[in-house]
Chains A and B, each alone.
Chain A
Amino acid sequence: MKILIIGATSAIAKATARIYAERKHELFLIARNEARLNDLAADLDVRGAQIVGHSVVDLTKHRDHGKAIEGAFSVLDSVDVALICHGSLPDQAASEINFKLAEKEINTNGLSVISLLTILSQKFKAQGSGTIAVITSVAGDRGRQPNFVYGAAKSMVSTYLQGMRGKLLSYKVHVVDIRPGLVDSPMTAHIKKGLLWSSPEKIAGKIVRSIAARKHTVYAPGYWRGIMFVVRLIPEFIFKRLKF
């Protein structure tokens, strides 16, 4: 398979790329930090990836997206799977009172993804095959007090994907929305971990399986589907008083 990974140096992307590398797939990686991207490319090469092309792109700059994706398609020729993984974890308290900050976070976690999806969906339509998979979050399922800036951006992407899935159906292009729960990665290094936390490797395994099985909306690990079902059921007059 030919796989394009955007935001490839994030912990979940890295773990996913390693699984694909071990299965000797062809990978193209896009990320911002050149040194880390080079390291990842070398790592995947040792693990067995066939050809590893990569390019350094700052994904918050939407105008660079077109060129980046064109570049990947020209190296890979065709793309079987495009996986979008980049994101950041906002400081909720700070971005609540500072719109500049909120805008930046919503741009990184929401708008930049939609910009990429706009371009990718055109390319995949023309190709008439393939899977577009995006990592969103359980945070997008309902706006909660501790992370609604992040949640709003992620839910924007999830809603967009739902519509796009239908639009691309007749072009035989499949769309997967992957919603991880709490992931123990460098992005969450400052948070105290409990029972519900999972490793990036565990999430990665689920991503690979869901893409292969052409799932629509995937909770990773699966028990988050149950948790978020309950969270969505809570009546608003109670929910508004919950601080979790």
Chain B
Amino acid sequence: MEVYGWGRFPKASAALLEPVDSESLIKILTAKKKIGSMIARGAGRSYGDSALSENLISSRFLDSFLSLDQESATIRCGAGVSLDSILKVCIPRGWFLPVLPGTKFVSVGGAIAADIHGKNHHQDGSFCDHVAEFTLVLASGEKVTCSPQQNTELFHATCGGMGLTGIILDATIKCERVSSVSVRQRSLVANTLSECMELLDTNADSKYSVAWLDCLASGDRLGRSIIYLAQHDGNSDTTKEPKYKNRRGPTVPFDTPTFLINKFTMGLFNSAYFNLKKKGPRQSTAHYDAYFFPLDHIGNWNRLYGAGGFLQYQFVLPSGAALEGISQVLSKVSGAGKGSFLSVLKKFGKANANLLSFPQPGYTLTLDFKREKSLFPLLDGLDEIVLAHGGRIYLAKDARMSESVFKAGYPAWEKFLEIKTRVDPTGVFSSLQSKRIGLT
């Protein structure tokens, strides 16, 4: 069957295998007849080719909760359980997931494999910092429990390891007790990039912070942005049981004709959004679903960029070099007249010990681009800027970076490869991405 990631590029043909439990999973791995390369696939929310291979081991039926511990607020569940399902279970108990990405539809397995981050990275780190342990099934069919204390090396290789060390069967996630699932949101306006970065920096005591950027503004408007800060609502009514909410919005019914996505429409959208938000209210209370997952409200929003798909480009630069590097990236993007609805700037906190995890201290910028031929040379140019400023590119979003760009950005790749070769000596687990960037 034809498969692709959230960006709908690239597309590949693959066989889909859907184990229903550990037994059937082990059977696939230990079968006498070799079926070729394989990679685990969760909700299919990575953007590029991280979850594309000859064979896809779907976690769709590994979607059971195994146990819940009231005292420690931990939940153990199958790798295919979505963060949405976990929220449904933990919110009525007054718990919350400590790390939430921009969509609630990712699977736990995928969240670990990409070591995803959220708007609170500067305070709480990334997803795997809240994983107590997980069960990994190796290429040999052997089940291994990994945690920060047990099989530590394999734990740090698998967290952020893009599924290349084995198949995650289940995981134990530490939840966070919160005063409310509603958030009090504040927004600030920045007219330049340096102002924006300064505001993110001075408001680091705010639990959640992120900035929307007008990526097509140039000259002295370069980097003009709206900064969104938020905290869990402290004085909400505690007598009411916190409610899980699933807002349903419109679905994008067909692919946007690509000629509608050009520098004029994008420029218009970006200016209009900036000016609208600039005049809008500065403070509000929002339900968590609206705050964390605005795009989940629109079904199939990935069709907005047209039938050819789109690429998301996310990189991080160390704090010292960020202002200069990001300015260069933005000038290059607005100069080329390519841009997106949503460009997001975020300040990261400390990095963790995971070998291929993306976050490192500094600033991360995310840009969407409609896929077109002329995009690829532009992105190659951006790679050069990123590397020159000591940065790296997020694997879960990537569909095209070269081996040398990857290896320069992730110096721990050699250590990773050594561990991967030890647990998967015949190289069963590989993706189109891992082959492209020289990891398999």
Contact = CB atoms under 8 A, between A and B. Distances in A.
B18 A186 contact: yes
Contacts of A186: 18, 20, 61
Interface string B12-52: 00000010110000000000000000000000000000000
Interface string A61-101: 00000000000000000000000000000000000000000
Contacts of B145: none
Interface in B81-100: 88-89, 92
A58 interface: no
Interface string A1-13: 0000000000100
Contacts of A46: 65-68, 75, 77, 89
B64 interface: yes
A9 to B, nearest CB: 9
A48 B65 contact: no
Contacts of A208: none
B89 A42 contact: no
Q: Which of B18, B65, B66, B77 has the most CB of A within 10 A?
A: B65
Given A186-B18, A189-B18, A40 B88 contact: no
B21 A42 contact: no
A22 B87 CA distance: 12
B254 to A, nearest CB: 15
Interface string A193-219: 100000000000000000000000000
A35 B64 CA distance: 13
Contact of B66 (A11, A39, A192): A39
Q: How large is the interface on B (under 10, 10 to 19, 20 to 34, 35 or more residues)?
A: 10 to 19
Interface in B60-116: 61, 64-68, 75, 77, 88-89, 92
A232 interface: no
B64 to A, nearest CB: 4
A43 B18 contact: no
Interface string A30-47: 000001100110110111
B80 to A, nearest CB: 12
By secondary structure, the B interface counts as: mixed
A40 B61 contact: no
A22 B88 contact: yes
Nearest to B20: A186
Contacts of B64: 39-40, 42-43
A46 B20 CA distance: 19
A89 to B, nearest CB: 15
A48 B89 contact: yes
B21 A39 contact: yes
A11 B61 CA distance: 9
B115 to A, nearest CB: 25
Contacts of A45: 68
Nearest to B88: A22
A204 to B, nearest CB: 13
Task: Please name the 6 residue pairs, one residue from A and one from B, whose CB atoms are nearest each other, closest first.
Answer: A46-B65, A43-B64, A46-B68, A43-B65, A186-B20, A39-B64
27 contacts: A11-B61, A35-B21, A36-B21, A39-B64, A39-B66, A40-B64, A42-B64, A42-B65, A42-B66, A42-B67, A43-B64, A43-B66, A46-B65, A46-B66, A46-B67, A46-B75, A46-B77, A46-B89, A47-B65, A47-B88, A47-B89, A48-B89, A48-B92, A186-B18, A186-B20, A192-B1, A193-B1
Given A36-B21, A43-B65, A46-B89, 5 more contacts: A22-B88, A45-B68, A46-B77, A186-B20, A189-B18
